[in-house]
Every structure is written in structure tokens, then in C-alpha cells.
């Protein structure tokens, strides 16, 4: 049985993608990281060498520390973090155990460069509906929880991207856009390497709602209705994004945990 300061890959995988997921710190050596530069979803790189200098910044936070095998590096870093008031655990077996279990790993090939504050920066068209809320949710929950999203006039997306160093998405002629029958949300799942059944299920709903193919899944119509309702409730796109994150959190949990559950009333009546 793991110690109180150890979390198993299966336990951690149940928290990935949730709004209260712990921060993940990847403290693998440069040699180990270069051998496999994939990372756990939303993991940040950190060095054990100067942990005493940065540990204080995690005070009061839930943190999981990951090294190659879950031994001395992560144990030492987690101990320093706890000394500075963080609730720090070590991933049992480290990166290798997570990878061997076939759990999701983010490919770094298309993760945009980060700004001076360690954030990725994205830009898209104003007045989002489906894809332009679903994609930020995916990025915030599985790639970069601190990601910044700029919503601008459609004609200015490309120019804003160039002038401010942002990555454009869900517009024509860019990498992060629709491809054939796939919407941008599908493309992000594929390109980031996020192989997860619940995300595949959610992608079907998003694609149906975003491309007017409501027959793809019965729930697509409900997602579209909720998305359009949110777009009418909020004039501020960032306020709408905040509300939309909760919507997609709920749909993700339904896809992961409750897709087969039914509900009827009164109780006892045949379904």
C-alpha cells in the first residue's frame, strides 16, 4: 500500500482533466527528458537543483512531483515542497510507470512556446460558440492551465497573432483548424497525442454540435443548445469562457463516468 505521500498512476489519472487537479512538476533530468520529451498533461518542467529557491511559490498548493522512476529526485523535491507548505506527493514509479500504463502523454511537437510568465498564448475570433470554448477547455485542462486566450475581431486574428506572438486557432488557413470532417477540437486531441476514451467521446459531441451533424451523438443537440444559450447570456467573451469551462467539465465527467447512467421519476417505474 502506498505511503501517504505517494500517489499511484491510476489514482492520479482519475484527477487529470478535472478543475481541481493537482499541479504536476516534471523534475526528470535533462538526459531522461531528452530521451522522451512527452509530458503528463499540464506538467511543468522544474529542476531539482534549485528547488530551495522556487519551492515557496507552491505554498498551499496540491502538487505531484514526477521524476523518471519516482525515486530520489521526486522524493527530495516533494520533501522540499512540503517544507514550504505545499501538499506534495510523488508519482509512484515515476514517468516510466505512467508511460508503461498507457496513460495520456502530451506530445511537445506542437505545444506553442511560452511567454516570460510560462504561459501559452492563443488567439481566435470573438463571440465563441462551440469549438472556441471546447478548445480552450482542452488546453486549460490537459496542456497548460495558465493559458491565455485572446478573442478579437475575425479580420484581425492573423495580425494579432503576428504582432503579439499568439497562436491562432479555429480560423481558416492555420494549423489549428478544421480538417475535413474534423473540427478543431478533434485536431487538438490528435496533435497533442491525448489518447483518452472520455475525450474521444466528448469529441464526438463537440463535432456534432460544431458542424451541425447532430446525428453523430444524441447529446450533441444538448451541447449546441447550452453553447448557444451561453453565447446569449454573456457579452464578455472571457466571462463566457469561464462559464463554458464548467459546462465542459460536466460533459467530460459524463463521458468518463456516467455515460451509461439513466434517470427516471418516480423511482421504481420501469425505464
The pLDDT tens digits of the residues spanning 159-174 come to 999 999 999 999 999 9
Q: Decide: 51 and 77 in contact? Cβ < 8 Å.
A: yes
pLDDT of residue 267: 67
Length in residues, the chain:
271
Residue 2 has pLDDT above 90, yes or no: no
Q: Average pLDDT, whole number, for the chain?
A: 95
Assign 261 a pLDDT band (cuts: 50, 70, 90).
Answer: confident
Please tell me the distance from the alpha carbon of residue 69 to that of residue 36, in angstroms, as a whole number: 13
Please tell me the distance from the alpha carbon of residue 205 to that of residue 248, in angstroms, as a whole number: 11
Sheet with 121-125, strands from edge to edge, namely 148-152, 121-125, 167-168
Residue 208 has pLDDT above 90, yes or no: yes
φ/ψ (deg, to 5) at 105:
-130, 135
pLDDT of residue 269: 60
Assign 15 a pLDDT band (cuts: 50, 70, 90).
Answer: very high
Residue 184: Cβ-neighbour burial (10 angstroms; 0-12, 13-18, 19+): buried
Q: 128 is written with which cell numbers?
A: 465563441
Q: What does pTM read for this prediction?
A: 0.94
Please tell me the distance from the alpha carbon of residue 71 to that of residue 105, in angstroms, as a whole number: 20
Rounded mean pLDDT of 240-264?
93
pLDDT of residue 265: 77
Residue 196 has pLDDT above 90, yes or no: yes
**What pLDDT digit, counting tens, does each position of 82-115 carry?**
999 999 999 999 999 999 999 999 999 999 999 9
pLDDT of residue 206: 98
149 forms beta bridges with: 122
Q: Decide: 109 and 86 in contact? Cβ < 8 Å.
A: no
Q: Decide: 89 and 134 in contact? Cβ < 8 Å.
A: no
pLDDT of residue 169: 98
pLDDT of residue 270: 57
The Cβ of residue 148 has, within 10 Å, a number of other Cβ atoms equal to 15
Amino acid at each position: 500500500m502506498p505511503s501517504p505521500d505517494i500517489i499511484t498512476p491510476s489514482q492520479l489519472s482519475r484527477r487529470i482533466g478535472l478543475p481541481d487537479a493537482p499541479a504536476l512538476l516534471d523534475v526528470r533530468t535533462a538526459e531522461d527528458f531528452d530521451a522522451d520529451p512527452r509530458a503528463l498533461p499540464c506538467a511543468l518542467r522544474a529542476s531539482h537543483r534549485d528547488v530551495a529557491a522556487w519551492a515557496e511559490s507552491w505554498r498551499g498548493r496540491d502538487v505531484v512531483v514526477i521524476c523518471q522512476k519516482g525515486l530520489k529526485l521526486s522524493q527530495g523535491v516533494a520533501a522540499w515542497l512540503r517544507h514550504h507548505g505545499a501538499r506534495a506527493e510523488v508519482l509512484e514509479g515515476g514517468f516510466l510507470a505512467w508511460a508503461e500504463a498507457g496513460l495520456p502523454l502530451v506530445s511537445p511537437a506542437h505545444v506553442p512556446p511560452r511567454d516570460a510568465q510560462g504561459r501559452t498564448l492563443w488567439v481566435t475570433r470573438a463571440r465563441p460558440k462551440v469549438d472556441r470554448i471546447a478548445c480552450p477547455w482542452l488546453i486549460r485542462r490537459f496542456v497548460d492551465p495558465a493559458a491565455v486566450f485572446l478573442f478579437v475581431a475575425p479580420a484581425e486574428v492573423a495580425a494579432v497573432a503576428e504582432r503579439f506572438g499568439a497562436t491562432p486557432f479555429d480560423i481558416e488557413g492555420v494549423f489549428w483548424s478544421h480538417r475535413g470532417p474534423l473540427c478543431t477540437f478533434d485536431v487538438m486531441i490528435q496533435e497533442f497525442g491525448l489518447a483518452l476514451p472520455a475525450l474521444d467521446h466528448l469529441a464526438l459531441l463537440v463535432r456534432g454540435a460544431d458542424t451541425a451533424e447532430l446525428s453523430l451523438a444524441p447529446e450533441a443537440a444538448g451541447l449546441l443548445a447550452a453553447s448557444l444559450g451561453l453565447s446569449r447570456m454573456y457579452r464578455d467573451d472571457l466571462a463566457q469562457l469561464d462559464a463554458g469551462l464548467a459546462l465542459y467539465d460536466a460533459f467530460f465527467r459524463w463521458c468518463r463516468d456516467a455515460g451509461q447512467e439513466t434517470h427516471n421519476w418516480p423511482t421504481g417505474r420501469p425505464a
